[in-house]
Structures are given as structure tokens and as C-alpha cells.
Amino acid sequence: MDASAPGTYTVTNDINIAGCPLASYSDDITINEIPTANITGSTTICPNDPLPNLDINITSGTPNWDVTYNVDGSPVTVNTAVTPLVINGAAVGTYDLVSITDGNNCSNTIAGQAIIDNFPTPIVDPLMNQYICED
């Protein structure tokens, strides 16, 4: 069974001892898919622009999912039954996708990153008036 694909398999064990009736037992074994996800939405915004959304796209596993990501090093865990998980109005910072656990209690460590950055506010130095003579 090692490295079997996700699905349900029937396993049968037959014991045949000379002089005894055949002993047989069958049981189903289910191999669940490992949950996976990725994060998208990196962008750079101008001062006073609205904050963008980030999407965590869950690509496999069984709902409900516990998704853990770090925002500038601080962990956040969200439980969701929908994909993508949308982080509305994501503040400026670094979002690192860390792990996901699904409804079958299967978990996976995930590496993914989205960065919301901002352009600096331009600084304009006023020019002094210039006086120039003709010719």
C-alpha cells in the first residue's frame, strides 16, 4: 500500500491452514489526498490607494480547511469551507503561507509568499523663482 494514490481500496486477508476451513476477512482502507494551497496577489500600491485582496487558493483536500499564514511573522489561522480564501484589504506586509489541515485531519506544510508593498510618497522640493535677462 505504500505510495498508493488517494482512493478507497479493499484489502482481503486469506488464511489457509491444512485441515481447517479457509479464514478470510476483507476491509476497506481509504487514502485521503494531502491538502495543498498557494497564495497570490503580490503587488505594490501607491499612497492612498485602496488595500488589495490576497487569495489563498486551496487546490486539494477535503473541506473544512484550517489555513495558517504569517503576516510579518505573526501567525493567523482561518477555518474555511470555500476556496479561494480571500484576505480582504490586505495591509502592507509580507504574507507567508505556512500550513493547511483539512476535514480529514490531513495536514501539509506549505511554502508560499505574497508581498504587499507601497511606493514611497514622493517628496517635492519647491524651486526658487529664477530671473533671467533677455539675451
Instruction: Report pLDDT digits (tens) over 68-99.
Output: 999 999 999 999 999 999 999 999 999 999 99
Higher pLDDT, 126 or 46: 46
What would the grid cell of residue 91 be? 495591509
Per-residue pLDDT for 2 more than 80? no
Q: Where are the beta strands (DSSP E) in the chain?
A: 7-15, 23-31, 36-40, 43-45, 54-60, 65-71, 74-80, 85-87, 93-101, 107-118
Quick one: which of 38, 37, 12, 35 has its CA closest to 25? 12
Question: In the structure, what pLDDT confidence band is assigned to residue 125 with cuts at 50, 70 and 90?
Answer: confident
3-state secondary structure of 94: strand
Per-residue pLDDT for 4 more than 90? no
Q: How far apart are CA 73 and CA 35, in angstroms?
A: 23
Q: Indicate whether this model's pTM tops 0.85.
A: no
